[in-house]
Amino acid sequence: MSGDLAAFRERAARFLAGRLERRAPREDAAWGEGDDRISLFEEIDPEAERRTLDAARRWQRDLFDAGFGWIDGPAELGGAGLTAEHEAAFRGLLAGFESPDLRPLTVGLDIVAPAVLAHGDDELKRRVLPGLHRGELMACQLFSEPEAGSDLAAVRTAARRDGDAWVLNGHKVWTSGGHLADIGLALARTDPEASKHAGLTMFLVDMRDPGVRVEPIRQMTGGASFNEVFIGGARVPDRDRVGGPGEGWRVALTTLLGERSSLGGEGGGPLPAGFVPRLRQLVAVLPEADDPLVRRDAERALMSVDAMRLTAERYGEQERGGAGGGLNGVEGSVAKLLLVRALADTERLLTGLLGRGLVADDGSWGRFCWSEFVLGIPAFSIAGGTDDVQRNIVAERGLRLPKGAS
């Protein structure tokens, strides 16, 4: 595919216009018209969830087949062989269209695929990466355990070598999308004698293996998008090992960087499409917004969202310009903390502005719908590493402050 950016943009714009509807600017939508639903997590029944996943898989396949599914991926693995700048240009164009929700595939695309690309052997990369990027393989992340969250290297799930395979036994928790996933990236202890970080190895587990049992966890929002996963004697062929035996911690660090940059990244991370226009419309329309304290909170929330967006864009530009940085390491933690602050400021605005309307549905349009959004906010202070953990990273690796006692 041609690397000329202008020609690429033209081709991408033609592809998108041929398949998708243009997104109507939310400011133009009349208050009270259409679906007012807005959320950070889709809370839908299992059937609708399955339909969303199928639509995501079809759209990702179309993107991949047209050369837009893995724009900066190596051509020999099915990528388009272009640059991160092309990828960003495509994302910018896509934002102008109504497109199928790709969130069910995010863990596979943004977290698992980069780890396989960086650490898998050539055979594993050829076998798994095209499927992940074409939406044929949906992946989940089997890291956290009841006794290992922030202190991830404390995982107890054990993997024992048995001929040309490994046998896994353990208990994972908070596995997003585990009930739908085809494969799971699992961190396991392969050498109980080695030091905590050295005795770990990373595997790709077949989620349909008879030794894998997935149980949903019900959330306060009513949905059940994550799970407990009980692993009892699951067999994993050695060829599905990601990185060498004992190198699991190194692989885990790659995935954690991918996760943070996905959460705090360019394009608003997990914020739903049209979020800022919806917020502006709320403040413009509701009479309660004339209260000076609410106006102050509105300014603060909108500035926080802008700070998050601009910081992510700056890191992205630095990375694409080859100036180093990018959403890696400390920058990823800063970007994720800015996302959390933007969400906290939005929550303060919504509670002040909507008051009881946020907890009691009186049937009026555009008010109670925000309760699902607000209930999703606390999750982002925890997922992908808690705020405390991100601050530790900024303090120790960014500011070079002495290590805390942990």
Ligand X SMILES: Cc1cc2nc3c(=O)[nH]c(=O)nc-3n(C[C@H](O)[C@H](O)[C@H](O)COP(=O)(O)OP(=O)(O)OC[C@H]3O[C@@H](n4cnc5c(N)ncnc54)[C@H](O)[C@@H]3O)c2cc1C
Q: Which residues are catalytic?
A: 259
Cβ distance 365 to 378 under 8 Å? no
Distance CA 198, CA 245 (A): 9
Distance CA 340, CA 346 (A): 10
Judged by CB under 6 A, does residue 304 bind ligand X? no
Q: In the bound complex, what is the minimum distance in angstroms from residue 149's beta carbon to ligand X?
A: 2
**Nearer residue to ligand X within complex by CB, 60 or 390:** 390
- Written as six digits, the tokens of 171 are 């208990």
Residue 263 makes CB contacts below 8 A (sequence gap 6+) with 269, 270, 335, 336, 339, 380, 383, 384
**Nearer residue to ligand X within complex by CB, 361 or 388:** 388
**Nearer residue to ligand X within complex by CB, 172 or 278:** 172
Distance CA 168, CA 179 (A): 19
Applying CB under 6 A, among 60, 144, 190, 346 the residue interacting with ligand X is 144
User: Of residues 147-166, which lie at the interface with ligand X (CB under 6 A)?
Assistant: 149-150
Instruction: Map residue 142 onto helix, strand or coil.
Output: strand
Judged by CB under 6 A, does residue 392 bind ligand X? yes
Q: In the bound complex, what is the minimum distance in angstroms from residue 181's beta carbon to ligand X?
A: 9
**Nearer residue to ligand X within complex by CB, 97 or 230:** 230
Cβ distance 210 to 225 under 8 Å? no
- Size (the chain), residues: 406
Q: In the bound complex, what is the minimum distance in angstroms from residue 195's beta carbon to ligand X?
A: 18
Q: In the bound complex, what is the minimum distance in angstroms from residue 179's beta carbon to ligand X?
A: 11
Give the range of 31-39, 191-199, 351-359, 380-388 binding ligand X by CB under 6 A: 380-388
User: Of residues 50-109, which lie at the interface with ligand X (CB under 6 A)?
Assistant: none
Q: In the bound complex, what is the minimum distance in angstroms from residue 140's beta carbon to ligand X?
A: 6
Count of residues interacting with ligand X (CB under 6 A): 19
**Nearer residue to ligand X within complex by CB, 140 or 327:** 140
Cβ distance 166 to 159 under 8 Å? yes
Judged by CB under 6 A, does residue 143 bind ligand X? yes
The candidate with the shortest Cα–Cα distance to 312, out of 346, 351, 267, is: 267
Instruction: Map residue 104 onto helix, strand or coil.
Output: helix
**Nearer residue to ligand X within complex by CB, 8 or 275:** 275
| DSSP H helices in 77-189 | 84-94, 106, 113-119, 122-133
Q: In the bound complex, what is the minimum distance in angstroms from residue 9's beta carbon to ligand X?
A: 34
Q: In the bound complex, what is the minimum distance in angstroms from residue 399's beta carbon to ligand X?
A: 15
Applying CB under 6 A, among 175, 221, 254, 333 the residue interacting with ligand X is 175
Give the range of 163-171, 239-247, 263-271, 383-391 binding ligand X by CB under 6 A: 383-391
Give the range of 135-143, 297-305, 322-330, 353-361 binding ligand X by CB under 6 A: 135-143
Q: Which secondary-structure segment (H or E) carries 98?
A: strand 97-98
Cα dihedral 340, 344, 345, 349 sign: positive
Give all strands (DSSP E) within 149-282, no chain letters: 158-162, 165-176, 183-189, 200-206, 212-217, 226-237, 241-242
Judged by CB under 6 A, does residue 388 bind ligand X? yes
Residue 7 makes CB contacts below 8 A (sequence gap 6+) with none
Applying CB under 6 A, among 52, 106, 176, 201 the residue interacting with ligand X is 176
Judged by CB under 6 A, does residue 190 bind ligand X? no
**Nearer residue to ligand X within complex by CB, 129 or 393:** 393
Cβ distance 229 to 175 under 8 Å? yes
Judged by CB under 6 A, does residue 249 bind ligand X? no
Distance CA 277, CA 283 (A): 10
Binding site for ligand X (CB under 6 A): 140-141, 143-144, 149-150, 174-176, 226, 379, 382-383, 385-386, 388-389, 392, 406
